[in-house]
Chains A and B, each alone.
Chain A
Amino acid sequence: MTQMLTDLFKPNLNRKIALAYRMKYAFFAILLPLGYSASAQSGELVKLEKLQQIIQEEKNQIQVINFWATWCAPCLKELPLFEKLHNDRQDVRVRLVSMDMDLDPDPEKVRKFVLRKKIQSEVLILNERNPNAWIDKLEKGWSGSLPATLVVNNKTGKRKFVEKELHDGDLEKLIAGVL
């Protein structure tokens, strides 16, 4: 322990640490504008058809589409997993699809929530009601509860759907299942 402390104060090592910090900040400075552009488009209202089109047309990235709502406690618990995925994986496109409109007609509440929680992933607000009329078009196996997550890889044509709160490692397993 004492050895470690003295090591830490060696001038040479100090320079190295300082350099590492500078590089880290430079890295964030590059990332910052990207983060802003992602949040600027957040909260767009979409109809089901548009959402289906978005899902079908994504050719380059694996899509992780999380269906959530501001009132859904387990959704908010698993939210950091999607944010982490959004930040960590270039090959994955995270989309958070808010289902709030089925109960509450005001999309501003969702947008304010997104700003307050500083959500960085793309947020779409599904502008549809009466899920019984369309839910099967998105996923036949969906019983109609939240959270639910759809993982789609248009390159392999594989998709995975789960209707439960996810925990550490679950998303990685789902993604591995569509490779």
Chain B
Amino acid sequence: MKQLVFGCAVILCLTSGAPIKNGYEVGDTAKDFKLKNVDGKMISLSDWKDAKGFIVIFDCNTCPYSKAYNDRIVALNEHYVGKGFPVVAINANDPESSPGDSFDKMVSYSKKKGYAFPYLVDESQSVAKMYGATNTPHVYVLSRKANDLKVEYVGTIDDNARDESSVTKKYVEEAIDALLAGKSVPTTKTKAIGCGIKWKNS
């Protein structure tokens, strides 16, 4: 009986201790994923044959910080897609606890905002967990060499959520500009100030 209890305790430890504080640090190799886009198609990063990297953004429809950054995210894609760094937005929020972030709402939101980039649903939340995303918007700038995806920057978009005209540090742009120039990224990590991702059963 004692052994049985001990066995159960070990299993509990392994399962309950797993999801916290993992995810990617700068310098890690990121894994590709396959998620459903708002147009119904399944999308992977490997679908882009010529990309030099990606601006992966964990985002949603409802968070006031996501809304404040929405135009800037659209502009990031416009500015960098031609340079080989497309935006790939992912919504991982559980629609049960955040009904405004359901797949149908994602479809209408992306149409309304004129997203020229994929807006993917991470229904199982496994990609957000794998990357270690906690907030929205939470940016991961990845570079790609051969088929390896390297994490170059993790964090927020810039240093002024409220007022774009008062921004003094454009972290994401500076990271990509440095990568395009073959230089090292000046700031590799910031905190992704925003809303917590709405996890299932929490």
Using CB atoms and an 8 Å cutoff, list the residues of chain A in contact with chain B. Answer: 71-72, 74, 102-105, 129-133, 135, 142-146, 163-164
Contact = CB atoms under 8 A, between A and B. Distances in A.
B161 A103 contact: yes
Nearest to B199: A164
Given A142-B191, A143-B191, 14 more contacts: A72-B195, A102-B193, A103-B64, A104-B162, A129-B161, A131-B191, A131-B193, A143-B134, A143-B196, A144-B192, A144-B193, A144-B194, A145-B193, A164-B202
A144 B155 CA distance: 10
B162 A102 contact: yes
Contacts of B194: 144-145
Binding site of A, secondary structure by majority: helix, strand, loop or mixed?
Answer: loop
B65 A133 contact: no
B156 interface: yes
18 contacts: A72-B195, A103-B161, A103-B162, A104-B162, A105-B162, A129-B160, A129-B161, A131-B191, A131-B193, A132-B155, A132-B156, A132-B190, A135-B193, A142-B191, A143-B135, A144-B192, A145-B134, A163-B196
B123 interface: no
A143 B193 CA distance: 7
A127 to B, nearest CB: 13
Interface in B157-202: 159-162, 190-196, 202
Contacts, number: 52
A130 B194 CA distance: 11
A71 B68 CA distance: 13
B192 A102 contact: no
Contacts of B162: 102-105, 129
Best-buried of A105, A135, A143 by chain B (most CB within 10 Å)? A143
Contact of B191 (A74, A102, A129, A144): A144
Contact of A145 (B68, B155, B196, B202): B196
B68 to A, nearest CB: 6
Contacts of B193: 102, 131-132, 135, 144-145
B109 to A, nearest CB: 17
Contacts of A104: 162
A163 to B, nearest CB: 7
Contacts of A145: 134-135, 193-196
B159 to A, nearest CB: 5
A103 to B, nearest CB: 5
A144 B195 CA distance: 8
A104 B156 CA distance: 18
Nearest to A145: B196
A135 B156 CA distance: 13
Contacts of A135: 191, 193
Best-buried of B134, B161, B191 by chain A (most CB within 10 Å)? B191
Contacts of B135: 143-145
A105 to B, nearest CB: 7
Contacts of B68: 103
A88 B192 CA distance: 36
A104 B161 CA distance: 10
Contacts of A105: 162
Contacts of A102: 161-162, 193
Contacts of A144: 135, 156, 191-194
A142 B135 CA distance: 11
Nearest to A135: B191
Best-buried of B65, B162, B196, B202 by chain A (most CB within 10 Å)? B196
